[in-house]
Structure 1
Amino acid sequence: MGKPNVGMLVSQLREEEKLLLRAFASHGIDPVRLTDRKLQLELTDLTWLQEMELDVVLDRCLAHGRAGIVLQALDVAGVRSVNTRRAAVIADDKVECSLILGARGIPTLRTFMAFTVESALEALEQVGYPAVMKPVAGSWGRLLGKVNSPGAARALLEHKRQLGSYHHSMFYIQEYIEKPGRDLRIFIVGDDIVAGSYRSAEHWVTNVARGAVSAPCPITPEIAEISMRAAKAIEVEIAGVDLVETPDGLKVIEVNGGAEFKGLMSTTEYDIAQHIVDYVVNSCSDSQSSSLNGTYSASKQSMANGE
């Protein structure tokens, strides 16, 4: 098998994407860049996509909604993506993520969904104060709210309801953990844990995008076990698993499909970008390529037949 034809779905070339391009270059590969803001997707005829003859596309798109649509088109056209559309959609949906983690018996935070102010207040009473409210989709620690009392909760809920958006009328409510000023980000590629970091901040939101500081986190058997179980449950191949230390042991906060690794780079000498690229390239092995080409050909033939 020759060099695979690789695509990379991007929003912009940040430091991480430049490192990935450099790693692809070490394989003699110059990925086709699919820039989300420039794409014009003809949905009723995907011949243009099939004619690109892509073997695999690495998703690095910042806009998860856009990514979901592009990954869906790739899926229909028979083009493999990392992560898959299914994995990306599950990871981006906090509700589905919580449901799957709970159903698989993976330790996670107690979480409720409610659709009215009154039912949300009842759910908050069950969770106990303080509690955390989050949007059902989102990243970088944005739009998180910590409520310390029923009065504060009602004010926040009424404010969200007045915004009028469908998403602001769905209340995702989670227990608050008094953590030791830090949480854990574990980065997984395939079956390997590539790196781990403690993310510390004075604020209760310990997200690097919000100013948290990263430090090396030794990977213990407990960390490895819960992180891999979570990633496999959500079906992500490249993942950032966020954990929190509790009196009852580690619990999963969430599983990120479009995980960033900038903060992790300061905590390890391991070449994360190279590991990602090696995984993507190696996924195009002879056996997998044959399977993918069969899917591609069948998909192309089905479209030609109007199926």
Structure 2
Amino acid sequence: MSSATLRLGVLASRVRFEEKAILTALERRGVACEQIDPRSLSVRAGVPRPGPQAVLNREIGHYRALYAASALESAGVRVLNSAAAAAVCGDKWQTSAALVAQGLPTPETTLALTPEAALEALEEFGYPAVLKPLVGSWGRLVTRVTGPEMAAAVLEHLAAMPSPQSHIVYVQREVPKPDRDIRVLVVGGRAVGATYRRSDQWRTNVARGAVSERCPLDSDLTGLAVSAAGTVGAQIAGVDLLQDPDGRLTVLEVNDRVEFRGLQQSHGTDIDVAQSMAELLIKEAQA
């Protein structure tokens, strides 16, 4: 199937820098592409859906992204990343469990089914340690606890929250690191670029003011990032890595709807992230 006969879609309720770049890259390739707003999407299970043969999932909200992917797949549409990948990447415990099962280095993690059990897990870990929501991004509600009193206060707050999911606590041992982490972007099983994300805060999320700086790719970074993306089934992934003072790398998270503005700007014209994603989407639609 030639690219001229393809019909592709980009699933997104908000068109940010990344989505604009991807839509422009597809337009340059002469491919018919439409933005699909999931807020107006409805799909009948198992019934073929007229429209794009393949869709790039860029929806910002986890649950809407997950169920939109599942619904479109049930109607015969190829979705990148798949609903299965979104389910794993969007849940920090599922990601950790997959990485551990594959033998990839990742911080020691415990899932506590109640806040009380989390307090016991923290006593085993020692302090400082990190508490995270199962679902979330941009470092929101991620808390570094430095002692039993602080942990008890945080867990008391979690216990009072109405959502049952909030009472399930993801506990992670803190990994000593410099003032940065590393984000490696993987597209189609290939690492296309990496950045250091530096911050004077312990959370190094760009959404919280961290600065992206170009990071040279080497075989260790590339191999670990590609393995992590493959482990969670993500063909497009932002793999977050930590490097301890001894230089050992560990996988922190794998993001399935990765933002790449900082990475693109840090590399200038040496890479074209949106073009890489557009080419992969076209390839998958033609397969």
Give the structure-2-normalised TM-score: 0.95
Structure 2: distance between partners of 1:248 and 1:101: 20
Asked if 2 retains the 8 angstrom alpha-carbon contact of 1:21 and 1:30, the reply is no
> CA 1:248/1:113 → structure 2, altered by over 3 Å: closer, same or farther?
farther
Gaps of 5+ in 1: 289-307
> CA 1:71/1:159 → structure 2, altered by over 3 Å: closer, same or farther?
same
Asked if 2 retains the 8 angstrom alpha-carbon contact of 1:59 and 1:83, the reply is yes
| Residue 234 of structure 1: how far off its partner (Å) | 0.4
Give secondary structure in 2 for the equivalent of 1:61: coil
Query: Could you say which residue in structure 1 is the equivalent of 2:23?
Result: 21
Query: Could you say which residue in structure 2 is the equivalent of 1:261?
Result: 260
Equivalent residue pairs, number: 282
Asked if 2 retains the 8 angstrom alpha-carbon contact of 1:130 and 1:175, the reply is yes
Structure 1: distance between partners of 2:118 and 2:61: 29
Structure 1: distance between partners of 2:54 and 2:43: 20
Query: Could you say which residue in structure 1 is the equivalent of 2:240?
Result: 242
Query: Could you say which residue in structure 2 is the equivalent of 1:281?
Result: 282
> CA 1:215/1:42 → structure 2, altered by over 3 Å: closer, same or farther?
closer
| Residue 157 of structure 1: how far off its partner (Å) | 0.1
Structure 2: distance between partners of 1:251 and 1:90: 18
| Residue 118 of structure 1: how far off its partner (Å) | 2.4
Encode CA deviations 1:161-196: one digit per residue, 9 max, x unaligned.
111211210110001122100000000101211110
Equivalent residue for 2:62, pick from 56, 61, 64: 64
- Superposed CA RMSD in Å reads 1.3
| Residue 45 of structure 1: how far off its partner (Å) | 6.9
Encode CA deviations 1:134-167: one digit per residue, 9 max, x unaligned.
0001111111001000110001000111112112
Structure 1: distance between partners of 2:157 and 2:120: 17
Structure 2: distance between partners of 1:253 and 1:124: 19
Structure 1: distance between partners of 2:203 and 2:282: 35
> CA 1:115/1:15 → structure 2, altered by over 3 Å: closer, same or farther?
same
Structure 2: distance between partners of 1:159 and 1:199: 30
Query: Could you say which residue in structure 2 is the equivalent of 1:2?
Result: 2
Query: Could you say which residue in structure 2 is the equivalent of 1:106?
Result: 104
| Residue 117 of structure 1: how far off its partner (Å) | 2.7
Structure 1: distance between partners of 2:88 and 2:44: 23
Look at both structures and tell me which one has the larger radius of gyration over its CA atoms: 1
> CA 1:44/1:87 → structure 2, altered by over 3 Å: closer, same or farther?
closer
Give secondary structure in 1 for the equivalent of 2:239: strand
Encode CA deviations 1:210-259: one digit per residue, 9 max, x unaligned.
10001011111111111111011001000000000023710000100011
Asked if 2 retains the 8 angstrom alpha-carbon contact of 1:185 and 1:198, the reply is yes
Encode CA deviations 1:119-140: one digit per residue, 9 max, x unaligned.
1111112222000000001111
Query: Could you say which residue in structure 2 is the equivalent of 1:300?
Result: none
Structure 2: distance between partners of 1:248 and 1:274: 32
Give secondary structure in 1 for the equivalent of 2:11: strand
Percent of aligned pairs with the same residue?
39
Structure 1: distance between partners of 2:139 and 2:66: 20
Give secondary structure in 2 for the equivalent of 1:266: helix
Structure 2: distance between partners of 1:74 and 1:197: 33
Structure 2: distance between partners of 1:190 and 1:157: 40
Matches within 5 A, 1:91-240: 91-240=89-238
Give the structure-1-normalised TM-score: 0.89
Query: Could you say which residue in structure 2 is the equivalent of 1:32?
Result: 34
Structure 1: distance between partners of 2:80 and 2:91: 17
| Residue 74 of structure 1: how far off its partner (Å) | 1.2
Gaps of 5+ in 2: none
Structure 1: distance between partners of 2:34 and 2:265: 29
Structure 2: distance between partners of 1:42 and 1:206: 38
